[in-house]
Structures are given as structure tokens and as C-alpha cells.
Amino acid sequence: MGQNSGHQERGKKPELALSETMEAEAEVQSNKDEAKELKAKERRLTSVFGVADLKNGAIGLYNLGQSCCLNSLLQVFLMNIHFTGILRRITVPPCAAQRRSNVPYQMLLLLEEMQRGKRKAVRPTELACCLSAHRVELFVQHDAAQLFLRLWNLIKKQMKKLELVEELSDLYTICVQEHLACQNCSFEIKNNSCMLTLPLPVLDSNSHRLKTLEDCLQYFFHPEELTGQNMCFCQQCGMKTPFLKSMKLVYLPQTLTIHLKRFCFEKSSYTHKLSHYLPFPRDLDFNGVLTENQCHADDNEKATWQYDLFAVVAHSGSASCGHYCAYIQSLTERKWYCFNDSQVCQVSWDDVKCTYGHSNLHWGETAYLLIYMKKHPQQPYPGLSECLGKL
């Protein structure tokens, strides 16, 4: 018994060694194959210029579970050739686990898939899984303005090249100067800060409806008196005094995102949607909207404050239950398209104007995010990098 057992053990050793060698060779080959595949992907990705070229037509995105908000924002990002120009120059993460959790890389793969095939729509499954790992869940009613900020911050955080981070910030970041002045003395505080969207109220302080986008902009930059319970402590007076709070525009980016605050929060914690009529222009010139006292920029900077409307993220339904779609103008074709999840069709400017809203259609479609593109770009504001840490 012992001898037979010993022969059997001796016979197994060469087989075991051979098996280990084969496994090692297989692993080496697998690593080589993975490296080749990664290089091939890198070569393909460097040739991606953006869905806005529309080489294969406008491509939709399937709804994966209340993902209409995510789909609309992805289309706005990927139809922007300035954004995709940055995206296609990212550093590809070295290992599979990092690639699965990297939002910019997964967006780039989705962009490639949208351009490669002839399908009318693709499934953003891998990107959705990646975002879920970063607590951007499916089957949740997202707010488009909040989700835009989360996506942008994830993209910026996971970009490894400093120059790309700076380009991304220059592309989207707004710079304003906040000003507080004591009404009893000459004490004042000035502070530059940055934001990714202009959050414009659609009602004034008396709950009266603002009639146009230009009215909303003027109201946002209009000085506010801080009195009563809102008084501030003045270091020079040594007590709380009335202050005048104002905001001045310093720098506007290539891609300007305006958030129309159509969801109203009441004291009862009930949220309702403001669906009233609010027109917005195709061409927006801030020099014709804001006064000199509402701007803090030189003439060269203000000369670039002329914009064309690029996209509208529209919401239909109520504050608690609704649906998003995106109207986007191709930067190459100059044609408008409606991206409604997997359904994409060409539309007219009159169709886009239907998102102005209507007082009697509370469940109707209304513009929620407006994205404007600068007509005449200029060099970024030199002090912008100092403000970015405050985002």
C-alpha cells in the first residue's frame, strides 16, 4: 500500500509542475492580450472627436431605470465638442478595476460606442455601474441641476492630468465678486468666488413671476439690503448693522450653464413646480442685460459675453414625479435634436420654444437647465485658479 502510494505521489509531481507552468504561461499570455487590447482601445479613443460630428446620426441612450435625467445630461456633455476634446486626452487607468470605477474613462468608452455603431441607441450600462459605485444610483428621481454638479465634480476629481483639469474648469466655471458694504460706515468686504451654474430665481422676493430670462439675470445681480434679522456684524462699528449685499460678474466660461429654479420649497416642506411662461433667447448678450455696476471685468472680457443657445434640459411632470429630455443643437450641423432616452429626432426652434412653460399646464414640459455657448472665446480669466478651491 505504501509503495503504491509513493509511486502515485512521485507520478503527480511532474504533472503538478507542468500544470503550474501552464497556468503561469496562460497568465502571462492573458496579461499580454490585455495590454494589446488596452493599446488598441487607446488608439481608437484618440480618434474620437465627439458625438456632435454626428457621423452616424444622433444616437440615443436606453433608459436603465429612471435614468432619463442622467441620459439627458450625458447627451449634453457628449454633444459638446469642447468637452469631448478634453475627454479624449485623458490618461487611461492602468488596471481593469480602476477603469471600471473611472467616470471620465467610462464616458469615453460610451462616446466611442455611440460613434462606432449604426444603432439608433446604446445602453450606458458600464457607465451606470461605475456611477453607482460613486453613489449615483439608478431607480432614483434625480434633480438635473444637482446631478450635473455631481457628474462634473466626479469627472474633475478623476482626471489625472493637471492641464486637463484646468481646461475643464475654464470651460464651465463662472467667476463672480461678492460684495458686502456696511450702511453705517465705510467698512466693506470683497471676495471672488466660483460657481458651475447661475442659479436664477423665477420669482422675486414678493413671489411675483419674473417675465423673461433677462429679468431673472437682472434680479440675480440686483443689490440686496440686509436689515432686521439679516443684519451683519461690522468690525468697524463693533455691532450688527444694515449691510448692502451685491454680486458682480467677473468671468463667463465657454460653456455657460443656467439653472432656472422652478422647484419651489415652501415652509410646509412641500415642493411644487413653477411652470409659468418664461421665454429665453437664442442669442444672449450680457452687456445688454447687466449694468456697469453689475460687472467687474475689463472691456476685452466683456467683449466675449455673447452667447448662442446650445442645449435645453427640459422637465415634464411634477416635482415628485417627472421626466427629463434634452434639446441640443449640433455644433457642426447647426440643427436641433430632441434626445428623449432612446428616441432621437430632429426638431425646430418652435419645438424648443415649447419648453418656455405654461401657467395652466403644471405637468407640461418646461426648461430647467439652459446651456449657452460663447460666440467669441477668449483666454481664461487669470484669477480663475484662485477661486477654484472654493467650489
* Overall pTM surpassing 0.85 (yes/no): no
Q: What percent of the chain has pLDDT over 70?
A: 80
Q: How many residues belong to the chain?
A: 391
Give the residue numbers annotated as catalytic, written as ranges.
Answer: 68, 323
Q: Give the CA angle between residues 379, 383, 384 to the nearest 5°.
A: 75
What residue segments make up the domains of the chain, in order of their start? 125-390
Question: Measured between alpha carbons, how far is 62 from 127 in angstroms, rounded to an integer?
Answer: 12
Model pLDDT for residues 93-110, shown as the tens digit of each residue? 999 999 999 999 999 999
Please give the residue that has the higher pLDDT: either 58 or 167. 167
Instruction: Round to whole Å and give the CA distance between 208 and 196.
Output: 27
Give how far Cα 142 sits from Cα of 70, 71, 130, 150, 193, Å: 8, 11, 17, 11, 27
- Type of residue numbered 213: L
Mean pLDDT of 39-49: 44
Q: How confident is the model at residue 358 (pLDDT cuts 50, 70, 90)?
A: confident
**pLDDT class for 3, splitting at 50, 70, 90?**
very low
**Per-residue pLDDT reduced to its tens digit, 148-198:** 999 999 999 999 899 999 999 999 999 999 989 998 888 888 999 999 999
321 pLDDT band, cuts 50/70/90, is: confident
User: Does 362 score more than 70 pLDDT?
Assistant: no
Q: The domain at 125-390 falls in which architecture? A: Alpha-Beta Complex (3.90)
pLDDT of 346 reads: 95
* Residue 265 vs residue 27, higher pLDDT: 265
Look up cell 458694504; give the residue.
181
Query: Which pLDDT score is estimated for 127?
Result: 97
- The Cβ-side half-sphere exposure at 348, using a 13 Å CA radius, reads 1
2-6, 7-11, 238-242, range with greatest mean pLDDT: 238-242
The cell for 311 is: 442645449
Give residue 174's pLDDT.
Answer: 97
CA distance 320 to 64: 19
